[in-house]
Structure 1
Amino acid sequence: MIITLGLAIGALTGLLGAGGGILTVPALVYLVGLPVSPAISTSLAVGAIGPLAALIPRLRGGVDWKMVLPVAGGGVVAAFGGTLLGRLISEEMLLLLFALLMVASGVQMLRRRPQATGSDRRPKLWALRGIAVGLLVGFLTGLLGIGGGFITVPALVFLLGMSMRLAIGTSLVVAMINSLAGIAAHAGVSNLDWGLILAFVIPSMMASFLTALLSKRVSNAFLQKAFAIMVLTVAAITVAQVLLP
Protein backbone atom coordinates (compact mmCIF):
# COMPACT_ATOMS: atom_id res chain seq x y z
CA MET A 1 0.00 0.00 0.00
CA ILE A 2 2.74 2.49 0.99
CA ILE A 3 4.74 1.79 -2.19
CA THR A 4 1.64 2.21 -4.36
CA LEU A 5 0.79 5.51 -2.67
CA GLY A 6 4.35 6.68 -3.12
CA LEU A 7 4.26 5.92 -6.85
CA ALA A 8 0.90 7.66 -7.34
CA ILE A 9 1.77 10.77 -5.37
CA GLY A 10 5.23 11.00 -6.86
CA ALA A 11 3.77 10.84 -10.36
CA LEU A 12 1.43 13.74 -9.60
CA THR A 13 4.20 15.77 -7.95
CA GLY A 14 6.45 15.39 -10.96
CA LEU A 15 3.72 16.33 -13.41
CA LEU A 16 1.91 19.09 -11.53
CA GLY A 17 4.36 20.41 -8.94
CA ALA A 18 1.88 19.55 -6.19
CA GLY A 19 0.21 16.51 -4.77
CA GLY A 20 2.73 15.63 -2.08
CA GLY A 21 1.22 17.01 1.10
CA ILE A 22 -2.23 17.59 -0.32
CA LEU A 23 -2.56 13.85 -1.00
CA THR A 24 -0.13 12.41 1.54
CA VAL A 25 -1.95 13.65 4.64
CA PRO A 26 -5.41 12.25 3.68
CA ALA A 27 -3.81 9.03 2.41
CA LEU A 28 -1.87 8.43 5.61
CA VAL A 29 -4.91 9.21 7.76
CA TYR A 30 -7.58 7.26 5.86
CA LEU A 31 -5.63 4.49 4.11
CA VAL A 32 -2.73 3.83 6.47
CA GLY A 33 -4.55 4.73 9.69
CA LEU A 34 -2.13 7.28 11.16
CA PRO A 35 -3.47 10.01 13.48
CA VAL A 36 -3.44 13.49 11.94
CA SER A 37 -0.42 14.80 13.88
CA PRO A 38 2.00 11.99 12.87
CA ALA A 39 0.57 12.12 9.34
CA ILE A 40 1.40 15.83 9.13
CA SER A 41 4.95 15.30 10.39
CA THR A 42 5.48 12.38 7.99
CA SER A 43 4.08 14.44 5.11
CA LEU A 44 6.54 17.24 5.88
CA ALA A 45 9.48 14.82 5.76
CA VAL A 46 8.23 13.41 2.47
CA GLY A 47 7.74 16.95 1.14
CA ALA A 48 11.32 17.91 2.01
CA ILE A 49 12.84 14.95 0.13
CA GLY A 50 10.35 13.79 -2.50
CA PRO A 51 10.24 16.83 -4.84
CA LEU A 52 14.00 16.67 -5.45
CA ALA A 53 13.64 14.12 -8.24
CA ALA A 54 10.91 16.15 -9.94
CA LEU A 55 13.09 19.26 -9.69
CA ILE A 56 16.20 17.83 -11.38
CA PRO A 57 14.82 17.97 -14.96
CA ARG A 58 13.64 21.55 -14.29
CA LEU A 59 16.86 23.02 -12.90
CA ARG A 60 17.71 24.70 -16.21
CA GLY A 61 14.98 27.09 -17.30
CA GLY A 62 12.19 25.62 -15.19
CA VAL A 63 12.57 27.65 -11.98
CA ASP A 64 12.30 31.38 -11.31
CA TRP A 65 15.19 31.50 -8.86
CA LYS A 66 14.74 35.21 -8.13
CA MET A 67 11.25 34.50 -6.83
CA VAL A 68 12.30 31.60 -4.62
CA LEU A 69 13.94 33.81 -1.98
CA PRO A 70 10.97 36.09 -1.11
CA VAL A 71 8.40 33.28 -1.29
CA ALA A 72 10.47 30.79 0.69
CA GLY A 73 11.68 33.46 3.13
CA GLY A 74 8.15 34.42 4.05
CA GLY A 75 7.20 30.77 4.29
CA VAL A 76 9.93 29.80 6.73
CA VAL A 77 8.81 32.48 9.19
CA ALA A 78 5.10 31.70 8.92
CA ALA A 79 5.49 27.91 9.28
CA PHE A 80 6.10 28.29 13.01
CA GLY A 81 2.91 30.32 13.49
CA GLY A 82 0.87 27.73 11.60
CA THR A 83 2.25 24.95 13.78
CA LEU A 84 1.31 26.77 16.98
CA LEU A 85 -2.26 27.32 15.77
CA GLY A 86 -2.54 23.72 14.60
CA ARG A 87 -2.06 22.49 18.17
CA LEU A 88 -5.24 24.33 19.19
CA ILE A 89 -7.54 22.99 16.45
CA SER A 90 -9.25 19.60 16.34
CA GLU A 91 -8.29 16.99 13.74
CA GLU A 92 -11.69 17.22 12.04
CA MET A 93 -11.46 20.99 11.73
CA LEU A 94 -7.93 20.76 10.30
CA LEU A 95 -9.11 18.34 7.61
CA LEU A 96 -12.12 20.52 6.75
CA LEU A 97 -9.86 23.58 6.44
CA PHE A 98 -7.66 21.47 4.21
CA ALA A 99 -10.62 20.64 1.96
CA LEU A 100 -11.90 24.24 1.85
CA LEU A 101 -8.54 25.52 0.63
CA MET A 102 -8.40 22.79 -1.99
CA VAL A 103 -11.82 23.76 -3.33
CA ALA A 104 -10.86 27.44 -3.55
CA SER A 105 -7.63 26.58 -5.33
CA GLY A 106 -9.23 24.14 -7.79
CA VAL A 107 -12.10 26.44 -8.73
CA GLN A 108 -9.73 29.33 -9.37
CA MET A 109 -7.55 27.18 -11.61
CA LEU A 110 -10.57 26.11 -13.67
CA ARG A 111 -11.83 29.68 -14.06
CA ARG A 112 -8.61 31.37 -15.14
CA ARG A 113 -6.76 30.89 -18.40
CA PRO A 114 -3.09 29.90 -18.09
CA GLN A 115 -0.20 32.06 -19.22
CA ALA A 116 1.31 30.64 -22.37
CA THR A 117 4.93 31.39 -21.51
CA GLY A 118 7.03 32.55 -18.60
CA SER A 119 8.56 36.01 -18.54
CA ASP A 120 11.21 37.93 -16.65
CA ARG A 121 8.87 40.92 -16.67
CA ARG A 122 7.42 40.86 -13.20
CA PRO A 123 4.55 42.97 -11.83
CA LYS A 124 5.17 45.96 -9.63
CA LEU A 125 6.21 45.16 -6.08
CA TRP A 126 6.86 41.56 -7.12
CA ALA A 127 9.17 40.90 -4.16
CA LEU A 128 6.55 42.08 -1.66
CA ARG A 129 3.92 40.01 -3.43
CA GLY A 130 6.25 37.03 -3.25
CA ILE A 131 6.71 37.51 0.49
CA ALA A 132 2.92 37.71 0.94
CA VAL A 133 2.47 34.48 -1.00
CA GLY A 134 5.23 32.90 1.10
CA LEU A 135 3.61 33.93 4.37
CA LEU A 136 0.33 32.29 3.35
CA VAL A 137 1.95 29.11 2.06
CA GLY A 138 4.31 28.81 5.04
CA PHE A 139 1.45 29.23 7.49
CA LEU A 140 -0.48 26.46 5.76
CA THR A 141 2.65 24.28 5.76
CA GLY A 142 2.92 24.49 9.53
CA LEU A 143 -0.82 24.18 10.08
CA LEU A 144 -1.65 21.34 7.70
CA GLY A 145 1.64 19.61 6.93
CA ILE A 146 1.74 20.48 3.23
CA GLY A 147 4.57 21.81 1.14
CA GLY A 148 2.07 24.26 -0.28
CA GLY A 149 2.20 23.42 -3.99
CA PHE A 150 -1.56 23.50 -4.40
CA ILE A 151 -1.58 27.09 -3.14
CA THR A 152 1.83 28.23 -4.41
CA VAL A 153 1.23 27.24 -8.04
CA PRO A 154 -2.06 29.21 -8.47
CA ALA A 155 -0.59 32.16 -6.55
CA LEU A 156 2.47 32.32 -8.79
CA VAL A 157 0.34 32.03 -11.92
CA PHE A 158 -2.36 34.56 -11.05
CA LEU A 159 -0.63 37.00 -8.70
CA LEU A 160 2.82 37.07 -10.27
CA GLY A 161 2.05 36.26 -13.92
CA MET A 162 4.16 33.11 -14.27
CA SER A 163 3.47 30.42 -16.80
CA MET A 164 2.09 27.20 -15.38
CA ARG A 165 5.30 25.36 -16.25
CA LEU A 166 7.58 27.90 -14.53
CA ALA A 167 5.26 28.08 -11.50
CA ILE A 168 5.47 24.30 -11.07
CA GLY A 169 9.27 24.29 -10.98
CA THR A 170 9.43 27.27 -8.63
CA SER A 171 6.81 25.71 -6.39
CA LEU A 172 8.88 22.54 -6.02
CA VAL A 173 11.84 24.48 -4.63
CA VAL A 174 9.61 26.49 -2.28
CA ALA A 175 7.83 23.32 -1.12
CA MET A 176 11.11 21.67 -0.15
CA ILE A 177 12.26 24.71 1.85
CA ASN A 178 8.86 25.13 3.53
CA SER A 179 8.75 21.44 4.44
CA LEU A 180 12.15 21.69 6.13
CA ALA A 181 10.89 24.68 8.12
CA GLY A 182 7.74 22.74 8.97
CA ILE A 183 9.80 19.81 10.27
CA ALA A 184 11.72 22.18 12.54
CA ALA A 185 8.46 23.73 13.73
CA HIS A 186 6.97 20.29 14.45
CA ALA A 187 10.03 19.04 16.34
CA GLY A 188 8.79 17.47 19.56
CA VAL A 189 5.14 17.40 18.41
CA SER A 190 5.37 13.86 17.05
CA ASN A 191 8.08 11.36 16.17
CA LEU A 192 8.96 10.49 12.58
CA ASP A 193 8.71 6.90 11.35
CA TRP A 194 11.70 6.81 8.99
CA GLY A 195 10.91 3.29 7.81
CA LEU A 196 7.52 4.49 6.62
CA ILE A 197 9.03 7.65 5.13
CA LEU A 198 11.66 5.78 3.09
CA ALA A 199 9.11 3.22 1.86
CA PHE A 200 7.05 6.17 0.64
CA VAL A 201 9.79 8.46 -0.67
CA ILE A 202 11.88 6.04 -2.75
CA PRO A 203 9.10 5.00 -5.18
CA SER A 204 7.75 8.56 -5.08
CA MET A 205 11.06 10.00 -6.30
CA MET A 206 11.31 7.45 -9.11
CA ALA A 207 7.82 8.25 -10.36
CA SER A 208 8.21 12.02 -10.00
CA PHE A 209 11.43 12.05 -12.04
CA LEU A 210 9.76 10.22 -14.93
CA THR A 211 6.62 12.37 -14.97
CA ALA A 212 8.70 15.56 -14.69
CA LEU A 213 10.34 14.58 -17.97
CA LEU A 214 6.90 13.88 -19.45
CA SER A 215 5.54 17.27 -18.34
CA LYS A 216 7.80 19.07 -20.83
CA ARG A 217 5.64 17.67 -23.63
CA VAL A 218 2.31 18.65 -22.04
CA SER A 219 0.56 22.00 -22.63
CA ASN A 220 0.05 24.62 -19.92
CA ALA A 221 -3.73 24.36 -20.36
CA PHE A 222 -3.72 20.61 -19.74
CA LEU A 223 -1.48 20.97 -16.68
CA GLN A 224 -3.78 23.61 -15.21
CA LYS A 225 -6.96 21.58 -15.73
CA ALA A 226 -5.35 18.41 -14.39
CA PHE A 227 -4.16 20.32 -11.32
CA ALA A 228 -7.66 21.66 -10.68
CA ILE A 229 -9.33 18.26 -11.09
CA MET A 230 -6.81 16.67 -8.71
CA VAL A 231 -7.37 19.09 -5.85
CA LEU A 232 -11.18 19.13 -6.23
CA THR A 233 -11.30 15.33 -6.17
CA VAL A 234 -9.19 15.11 -3.01
CA ALA A 235 -11.29 17.86 -1.39
CA ALA A 236 -14.51 15.93 -2.04
CA ILE A 237 -13.04 12.71 -0.61
CA THR A 238 -11.72 14.51 2.48
CA VAL A 239 -15.08 16.19 3.23
CA ALA A 240 -16.92 12.88 2.77
CA GLN A 241 -14.56 11.10 5.16
CA VAL A 242 -14.95 13.78 7.83
CA LEU A 243 -18.71 14.41 7.61
CA LEU A 244 -20.15 11.01 6.71
CA PRO A 245 -20.44 8.40 9.48
Structure 2
Amino acid sequence: MSALLLALTAGALIGLALGALGGGGSVLAVPALIYLLGFTPVAATTAALVIVALTSATALTAHARDGHVRWGTGLLFAAAGTGPAMLGSAVAAHLPAAALSAAFAVVAAAAAVRMLRPARADDAARGLRPGHAAAAGAGLGTVTGVLGVGGGFLAVPALVGVLGLRMREAVGTSLLVITVNSLAALGLRGGTVDRLDWTVVAPFAGAAVLGAWDGRRLGAKVEGSTLRQVFAVVLLAVAACMFVDAVV
Protein backbone atom coordinates (compact mmCIF):
# COMPACT_ATOMS: atom_id res chain seq x y z
CA MET A 1 0.00 0.00 0.00
CA SER A 2 1.39 3.43 -0.94
CA ALA A 3 2.32 6.02 1.67
CA LEU A 4 -0.40 8.36 0.37
CA LEU A 5 -3.11 5.73 0.72
CA LEU A 6 -1.88 4.78 4.19
CA ALA A 7 -1.87 8.45 5.24
CA LEU A 8 -5.41 8.99 3.96
CA THR A 9 -6.73 5.81 5.60
CA ALA A 10 -5.04 6.43 8.96
CA GLY A 11 -6.08 10.09 8.98
CA ALA A 12 -9.71 9.25 8.20
CA LEU A 13 -9.91 6.62 10.95
CA ILE A 14 -8.26 8.90 13.52
CA GLY A 15 -10.52 11.81 12.59
CA LEU A 16 -13.54 9.52 12.78
CA ALA A 17 -12.59 8.46 16.30
CA LEU A 18 -11.89 12.04 17.35
CA GLY A 19 -15.22 13.28 16.03
CA ALA A 20 -17.22 10.40 17.50
CA LEU A 21 -15.58 10.37 20.93
CA GLY A 22 -14.98 14.09 21.44
CA GLY A 23 -11.33 13.44 22.24
CA GLY A 24 -8.77 10.68 22.31
CA GLY A 25 -8.69 9.83 18.61
CA SER A 26 -5.56 11.85 17.97
CA VAL A 27 -3.58 9.68 20.39
CA LEU A 28 -3.31 7.13 17.57
CA ALA A 29 -1.65 9.63 15.21
CA VAL A 30 1.84 9.10 16.62
CA PRO A 31 1.90 5.27 16.39
CA ALA A 32 0.33 5.46 12.92
CA LEU A 33 3.05 7.82 11.74
CA ILE A 34 5.81 5.68 13.27
CA TYR A 35 4.70 2.17 12.38
CA LEU A 36 2.75 2.73 9.17
CA LEU A 37 4.59 5.65 7.60
CA GLY A 38 8.14 5.24 8.92
CA PHE A 39 8.49 8.51 10.85
CA THR A 40 10.99 8.76 13.71
CA PRO A 41 9.40 9.34 17.15
CA VAL A 42 10.51 13.01 17.20
CA ALA A 43 9.23 13.66 13.66
CA ALA A 44 6.00 11.78 14.46
CA THR A 45 5.26 13.92 17.53
CA THR A 46 5.87 17.09 15.51
CA ALA A 47 3.66 15.91 12.66
CA ALA A 48 0.99 14.84 15.17
CA LEU A 49 0.98 18.36 16.64
CA VAL A 50 0.26 19.77 13.17
CA ILE A 51 -2.52 17.24 12.62
CA VAL A 52 -3.99 17.79 16.10
CA ALA A 53 -3.91 21.58 15.76
CA LEU A 54 -5.66 21.57 12.38
CA THR A 55 -8.25 18.96 13.34
CA SER A 56 -9.04 20.55 16.70
CA ALA A 57 -9.31 24.06 15.26
CA THR A 58 -11.71 22.82 12.57
CA ALA A 59 -13.85 20.90 15.07
CA LEU A 60 -13.76 23.92 17.39
CA THR A 61 -15.63 26.05 14.85
CA ALA A 62 -18.54 23.59 14.78
CA HIS A 63 -18.78 23.43 18.58
CA ALA A 64 -18.52 27.22 18.83
CA ARG A 65 -21.37 27.61 16.35
CA ASP A 66 -23.48 25.35 18.58
CA GLY A 67 -22.61 27.48 21.63
CA HIS A 68 -20.65 24.72 23.40
CA VAL A 69 -17.38 26.62 23.98
CA ARG A 70 -16.65 28.49 27.20
CA TRP A 71 -14.06 30.88 25.79
CA GLY A 72 -12.99 32.59 29.02
CA THR A 73 -12.64 29.33 30.92
CA GLY A 74 -10.85 27.62 28.04
CA LEU A 75 -8.34 30.42 27.55
CA LEU A 76 -7.54 30.54 31.28
CA PHE A 77 -7.08 26.77 31.35
CA ALA A 78 -4.92 26.91 28.23
CA ALA A 79 -2.83 29.74 29.67
CA ALA A 80 -1.66 27.41 32.45
CA GLY A 81 -0.55 24.88 29.84
CA THR A 82 1.11 27.14 27.27
CA GLY A 83 4.46 27.44 29.06
CA PRO A 84 4.68 23.70 29.89
CA ALA A 85 3.68 22.86 26.31
CA MET A 86 6.56 24.94 24.95
CA LEU A 87 8.99 23.52 27.52
CA GLY A 88 7.83 19.98 26.83
CA SER A 89 8.28 20.54 23.12
CA ALA A 90 11.89 21.64 23.65
CA VAL A 91 12.61 18.66 25.92
CA ALA A 92 11.13 16.16 23.47
CA ALA A 93 13.72 17.07 20.83
CA HIS A 94 16.49 15.82 23.16
CA LEU A 95 14.87 12.61 24.42
CA PRO A 96 16.05 9.23 23.12
CA ALA A 97 13.61 7.64 20.69
CA ALA A 98 13.05 4.66 23.00
CA ALA A 99 12.23 6.91 25.97
CA LEU A 100 9.78 8.93 23.90
CA SER A 101 8.04 5.78 22.64
CA ALA A 102 7.84 4.29 26.13
CA ALA A 103 6.43 7.49 27.59
CA PHE A 104 3.85 7.67 24.83
CA ALA A 105 2.86 4.03 25.46
CA VAL A 106 2.27 4.79 29.15
CA VAL A 107 0.09 7.82 28.37
CA ALA A 108 -1.86 5.88 25.72
CA ALA A 109 -2.50 3.07 28.20
CA ALA A 110 -3.69 5.60 30.78
CA ALA A 111 -6.06 7.06 28.19
CA ALA A 112 -7.44 3.60 27.43
CA VAL A 113 -8.00 2.82 31.11
CA ARG A 114 -9.75 6.17 31.53
CA MET A 115 -12.10 5.34 28.65
CA LEU A 116 -12.88 1.88 30.03
CA ARG A 117 -13.72 3.23 33.46
CA PRO A 118 -17.47 3.86 33.87
CA ALA A 119 -18.36 7.53 34.21
CA ARG A 120 -19.39 8.51 37.71
CA ALA A 121 -22.46 10.62 38.16
CA ASP A 122 -20.88 12.66 40.92
CA ASP A 123 -17.71 13.60 38.99
CA ALA A 124 -18.83 17.14 38.25
CA ALA A 125 -20.37 17.73 41.65
CA ARG A 126 -17.36 16.35 43.47
CA GLY A 127 -15.04 18.94 41.97
CA LEU A 128 -11.59 19.93 43.19
CA ARG A 129 -10.04 22.97 44.79
CA PRO A 130 -9.46 25.89 42.34
CA GLY A 131 -5.68 25.52 42.55
CA HIS A 132 -5.96 22.14 40.88
CA ALA A 133 -7.21 23.80 37.67
CA ALA A 134 -3.78 25.35 37.07
CA ALA A 135 -2.06 22.03 37.81
CA ALA A 136 -4.39 20.18 35.43
CA GLY A 137 -3.81 22.77 32.69
CA ALA A 138 -0.04 22.60 33.15
CA GLY A 139 -0.06 18.80 33.09
CA LEU A 140 -2.09 18.75 29.90
CA GLY A 141 0.26 21.27 28.28
CA THR A 142 3.28 19.15 29.19
CA VAL A 143 1.77 16.00 27.69
CA THR A 144 0.85 17.91 24.52
CA GLY A 145 4.32 19.40 24.14
CA VAL A 146 6.33 16.26 24.80
CA LEU A 147 4.22 13.60 23.13
CA GLY A 148 2.37 15.50 20.42
CA VAL A 149 -1.09 14.35 21.53
CA GLY A 150 -4.08 16.61 21.89
CA GLY A 151 -4.99 15.30 25.30
CA GLY A 152 -8.76 15.41 24.91
CA PHE A 153 -8.93 12.27 27.04
CA LEU A 154 -7.33 14.34 29.83
CA ALA A 155 -8.85 17.75 29.12
CA VAL A 156 -12.51 16.71 29.12
CA PRO A 157 -12.46 14.98 32.56
CA ALA A 158 -10.42 17.88 33.96
CA LEU A 159 -12.84 20.52 32.69
CA VAL A 160 -15.79 18.56 34.09
CA GLY A 161 -14.27 17.53 37.42
CA VAL A 162 -12.07 20.57 38.11
CA LEU A 163 -14.12 23.41 36.65
CA GLY A 164 -17.63 21.91 36.74
CA LEU A 165 -18.48 22.29 33.04
CA ARG A 166 -21.26 20.27 31.49
CA MET A 167 -20.06 17.48 29.19
CA ARG A 168 -20.93 19.18 25.90
CA GLU A 169 -19.25 22.40 27.04
CA ALA A 170 -16.23 20.44 28.26
CA VAL A 171 -15.81 18.74 24.87
CA GLY A 172 -16.08 22.03 22.96
CA THR A 173 -13.84 23.92 25.40
CA SER A 174 -11.24 21.14 25.38
CA LEU A 175 -10.83 21.69 21.63
CA LEU A 176 -9.90 25.32 22.35
CA VAL A 177 -7.37 24.23 24.98
CA ILE A 178 -5.89 21.57 22.68
CA THR A 179 -5.58 24.01 19.77
CA VAL A 180 -3.78 26.63 21.87
CA ASN A 181 -1.42 24.07 23.46
CA SER A 182 -0.62 22.45 20.12
CA LEU A 183 0.20 25.79 18.50
CA ALA A 184 2.36 26.76 21.48
CA ALA A 185 4.29 23.48 21.25
CA LEU A 186 4.74 23.93 17.50
CA GLY A 187 6.22 27.36 18.12
CA LEU A 188 9.43 25.75 19.36
CA ARG A 189 9.58 23.14 16.60
CA GLY A 190 9.97 25.44 13.61
CA GLY A 191 13.05 23.64 12.31
CA THR A 192 11.53 20.19 12.52
CA VAL A 193 8.26 21.34 10.94
CA ASP A 194 10.18 22.46 7.86
CA ARG A 195 11.75 19.00 7.54
CA LEU A 196 8.48 17.06 7.66
CA ASP A 197 7.35 15.08 4.64
CA TRP A 198 4.37 17.20 3.69
CA THR A 199 3.35 14.80 0.92
CA VAL A 200 2.33 12.52 3.81
CA VAL A 201 1.40 14.97 6.57
CA ALA A 202 -0.91 17.15 4.45
CA PRO A 203 -3.20 14.34 3.21
CA PHE A 204 -3.11 12.75 6.69
CA ALA A 205 -4.31 16.01 8.25
CA GLY A 206 -6.89 16.61 5.54
CA ALA A 207 -8.38 13.14 5.94
CA ALA A 208 -8.46 13.59 9.74
CA VAL A 209 -10.37 16.87 9.41
CA LEU A 210 -12.94 15.30 7.07
CA GLY A 211 -13.16 12.19 9.23
CA ALA A 212 -13.92 14.27 12.31
CA TRP A 213 -17.05 15.66 10.64
CA ASP A 214 -18.27 12.15 9.83
CA GLY A 215 -17.37 11.08 13.37
CA ARG A 216 -19.75 13.63 14.84
CA ARG A 217 -22.61 12.03 12.90
CA LEU A 218 -21.47 8.54 13.90
CA GLY A 219 -21.39 9.57 17.55
CA ALA A 220 -25.02 10.63 17.33
CA LYS A 221 -26.10 7.21 16.03
CA VAL A 222 -23.99 4.73 18.05
CA GLU A 223 -23.94 4.34 21.82
CA GLY A 224 -21.02 6.41 23.15
CA SER A 225 -19.98 3.82 25.73
CA THR A 226 -19.70 1.13 23.03
CA LEU A 227 -17.48 3.34 20.87
CA ARG A 228 -15.24 4.15 23.81
CA GLN A 229 -14.83 0.52 24.82
CA VAL A 230 -13.86 -0.58 21.31
CA PHE A 231 -11.45 2.31 20.92
CA ALA A 232 -9.94 1.71 24.37
CA VAL A 233 -9.20 -1.95 23.58
CA VAL A 234 -7.46 -0.94 20.33
CA LEU A 235 -5.51 1.75 22.18
CA LEU A 236 -4.37 -0.70 24.87
CA ALA A 237 -3.07 -3.06 22.19
CA VAL A 238 -1.18 -0.22 20.49
CA ALA A 239 0.28 0.94 23.80
CA ALA A 240 1.46 -2.58 24.65
CA CYS A 241 3.16 -2.98 21.26
CA MET A 242 4.88 0.40 21.54
CA PHE A 243 6.12 -0.31 25.06
CA VAL A 244 7.52 -3.69 24.11
CA ASP A 245 9.17 -2.19 21.03
CA ALA A 246 10.73 0.57 23.17
CA VAL A 247 12.17 -1.63 25.92
CA VAL A 248 13.22 -4.72 23.97
* TM norm. shorter chain > 0.5: yes
Quote how far apart the aligned CAs of 1:20 are. 5.0
Q: Give how far 1:2 is off.
A: 0.7
Equivalence for 2:45: 40
- Cα pair distance change 1:232/1:162, threshold 3 Å: farther
Following superposition, the deviation at residue 76 of structure 1 comes to: 1.2
1:211 aligned onto 2:215: yes
* Partner SS state of residue 113, structure 1: coil
Q: Which residue of 1 aligns with 2:205?
A: 201
> Cα deviation per residue 1:104-126 (whole Å; 9 max; x = unaligned)?
2332343342459x98x894654
1:55·1:172 contact (CA, 8 Å) conserved in 2?
yes
Residue among 2, 5, 9 paired with 1:4? 9
1:177-196 maps to which residues of 2 (within 5 A)? 177-189=180-192, 191-196=195-200
Query: The residue matched to 1:32 in structure 2 has which SS?
Result: coil
Tell me: CA distance 1:124–1:27, structure 2 relative to 1, closer, same or farther (3 Å).
closer
In structure 2, the CA distance between the partners of 1:151 and 1:132, relative to structure 1 (3 Å rule), is same
Residue pair 2:21, 2:224 contacting (<8 A) in 1 also = no
State the percentage of identical aligned residues. Answer: 34
Q: CA deviation at 1:233?
A: 3.5
Using the alignment, how far apart are the partners of 1:7 and 1:83 within structure 2?
A: 26
2:149 paired with 1:146: yes
Does the 8 Å CA contact 2:24/2:111 hold for their aligned counterparts? no
Indicate the SS of the match to 1:48: helix
| Residues in 2 aligned to 1:160 and 1:104: alpha-carbon distance in whole angstroms | 21
Which structure 1 segments of 5+ residues have no match? none
Q: Is the 8 A contact 1:6 1:203 kept in 2?
A: yes
2:3 corresponds to = none
Equivalent pair of 2:24/2:150 in contact (CA under 8 Å):
no
The correspondence of residues 118-137 of structure 1 with structure 2, limited to 5 A, is 123=127, 125-126=129-130, 128-137=131-140
Residues 52, 205 of structure 1: 8 Å contact kept: no
2:202 and 2:104 map into 1 onto residues whose CA distance is 25
Q: TM-score, normalised by structure 2?
A: 0.83
TM-score by length of 1: 0.84
Corresponding residue to 1:16 among 12, 21, 25? 21
1:50 alignment partner, SS class: helix
Structure 1 residues 182 and 114 mapped into 2: Cα distance closer, same or farther (>3 Å)? same
Cα 1:32–1:209 shift into 2, 3 Å: same
1:50–1:97 Cα change, 3 Å: same
Q: Give deviations 1:120-179, integer Å, cap 9, x for gaps.
A: x894654x4332222111111111112222322333344444454433222222111111
1:172 matched residue in structure 2: 175
In 2, the alpha carbon distance for the partners of 1:165 and 1:217 equals 16
- 31 and 80 in structure 1: CA distance in 2 versus 1, 3 angstrom threshold: same
Separation in 1, partners of 2:93, 2:159: 29
Q: Distance in 1 between matches of 2:72 and 2:234?
A: 28
Residue identity in the other structure for 2:119: R
Q: Against the structure 1 CA distance between its residues 30 and 227, is the aligned structure 2 distance closer, same or farther, given a 3 Å change threshold?
A: closer
CA-CA distance at 1:42 after TM superposition:
0.9
Pick one of 64, 85, 89 that aligns with 1:83. Answer: 89
